[in-house]
Amino acid sequence: MELAEYDFEISVEFTNGDNSYWIPTPLEEVEEIGHNGIIDIGDDQSDFEKLISLVHEIGHVVYDLERKSNSKRIVIFEESLAWYLGYDYALKCGIEIDLQEYAEKIEIALNLYIKETK
């Protein structure tokens, strides 16, 4: 958590429940607030779920910070990319995540995103 906070100038916090999410700071407020956004991690998750939630939300941070335009969002693309970018960041930091377990969580999450977008 501390490494991600440092690397991306974000805040990582725990929140009640089992949902985790990324809240980007609007560009016009970044300088005033002093960080790029907040990752909230649901505290009702197992340790593994907290880890993969953090990794996935970091993927959103990486994507948002690299994104050059406000083009139309393609939710399933962004969610898939966030899973990949977060995993890649974790590996670069020396954090090993069981790929089979991670893939199972990705499949569940992507199926939920698909249902929500229909």
In sequence order, the 6+-apart residues with CB closer than 8 A to the CB of 30 are 36
Q: Higher pLDDT residue, 21 or 75?
A: 21
3-class SS at 84? helix
Q: Where are the domains of the chain?
A: 2-117
What are 29-85's pLDDT values in tens digits? 888 988 899 999 999 999 999 999 999 999 999 998 887 556 677 888 999 999 999
How far is the C-alpha of 90 from the C-alpha of 102, rounded, in Å?
12
